[in-house]
Amino acid sequence: MTQDGEQFANQLAVIKEKIEISIYKLLLEKEKELLQIEILDVYQKFESKDKFITITEKARPLFEITSHILVPDDQNLEDVQKQSDILLEECQRIGNSFSTEYLTANDKYNFEDIKHRYGMNTDFVSQIRLENIEFKRQYIQEQFYKSFDKLREEIADLEKKYKTLGTIRTQLKEYASAFDTSIELYKKQIIDEIEIPFFVYTSRLLQSYQGGQGVLMENNGESIRFTAPGNEHDILYTMSSGQLSAVLLSFSLALNKIYSGDGIKTVLIDDPIQCMDDINMISFVELLRREFSDCQIILSTHEEEFSNFIRYKFKKYDLAAQAITLKDA
């Protein structure tokens, strides 16, 4: 094992010697040669290769513009600082040549970004002339004013529609006014036609009412009020539920009397005496017998006494009457 270790150490020493003589010496010379390249010294000042490439690419146009003022190498200029000052002055001159309007527009639109976005290479940009820009400006201006023409047409069309709608609105107001007037006239006509029979019927059905023997109808233009003679209050606040039922029944009978016409005369009443006392019930039967003897009257009731009484009164005056019991039908 000891002999193998010595052989390994001898071989390692031989390899190190060959590396130092050939490869390492060559690397030192190459390093010395690279250190003499100024661009590498500049490269070392950047954080990464990508950043170095980005900056140099952006500075390339500046190098191309200022290359003609730099002193060639064959003049062997020793004052590097002077050459740097010349380059700085040229950069300042170029920077000052840009107008404030251009710099403001460039901050807003980023011309370089637009150039790359739309594939505008140097050759393409160099082909653009002032007259081309002027033609484009005129075209855009024409399109701009054409858009105004279209807008004016739309405005004119809207004004025409607005005027038409105004006319229709005025006509509808006239129709609505005429319709409201017709409704009021019709209400008044109905009241004029039924107020007398309505007053008579309520007088007969409300014989036990202390406020009088009839109900008046008043139209104030907005609603119809029902009042007793000499009483300013609506009957809604002065009558009982049974008395209000009698008023409603009188109103329905008055409408039937005036507007039933000459056709088939039929009166259908559902349980009319459920809230009436005996006096009002007798008055109701007499009202039907006298005023509606020419009609077919169909009454429903669960009061057997009322059914017997009304059939008795009708048969006494030779009016046909028949009882139908639904549970036996």
Band (pLDDT 50/70/90 cuts) for residue 111 is: confident
Q: What is the pLDDT of residue 263?
A: 75
Structure tokens at 204: 């007969």
φ/ψ of residue 8, rounded to 5: -65, -40
Q: Which residues pair with 270 in a beta bridge?
A: 300
Contact (CB, 8 A) for 313 and 285:
yes
Side-chain half-sphere exposure of 79, counting CA atoms within 13 A: 5
Q: In this structure, what DSSP letter does residue 234 have?
A: B
What is the distance of C-alpha 286 from the center of its chain? 65
Listed range (76-80, 181-185, 238-242, 313-317) with the worst mean pLDDT: 76-80
Q: What is the pLDDT of residue 101?
A: 86
The yes-or-no verdict on residue 35 having pLDDT over 70 is no
Q: Which residues pair with 296 in a beta bridge?
A: 266
Q: What is the pLDDT of residue 148?
A: 83
Determine the residue type at 319. Answer: L
Q: What is the pLDDT of residue 72?
A: 53
d(Cα 233, Cα 131) in Å, to the nearest integer? 93
b/e sequence 18-33, b meaning 16+ C-beta within 10 Å: eeeeeeeeeeeeeeee
Q: Quick one: which of 252, 262, 254, 258 has its CA closest to 294? A: 262
For the whole prediction, is pTM greater than 0.85? no
Listed in sequence order, the residues at least 6 apart from 221 whose beta carbon sits closer than 8 Å to its beta carbon are: 184
Q: Which residues pair with 305 in a beta bridge?
A: none
Contact (CB, 8 A) for 292 and 267:
yes
Q: What is the pLDDT of residue 84?
A: 64
User: Could you tell me what percent of the chain has a pLDDT over 90?
Assistant: 9
Contact (CB, 8 A) for 224 and 191:
yes
Q: What is the pLDDT of residue 171?
A: 95
What is the distance of C-alpha 76 from the center of its chain? 79
SS3 content of the chain, % helix, strand, coil (to 5): 70, 5, 25
The yes-or-no verdict on residue 47 having pLDDT over 80 is no
Band (pLDDT 50/70/90 cuts) for residue 80 is: low
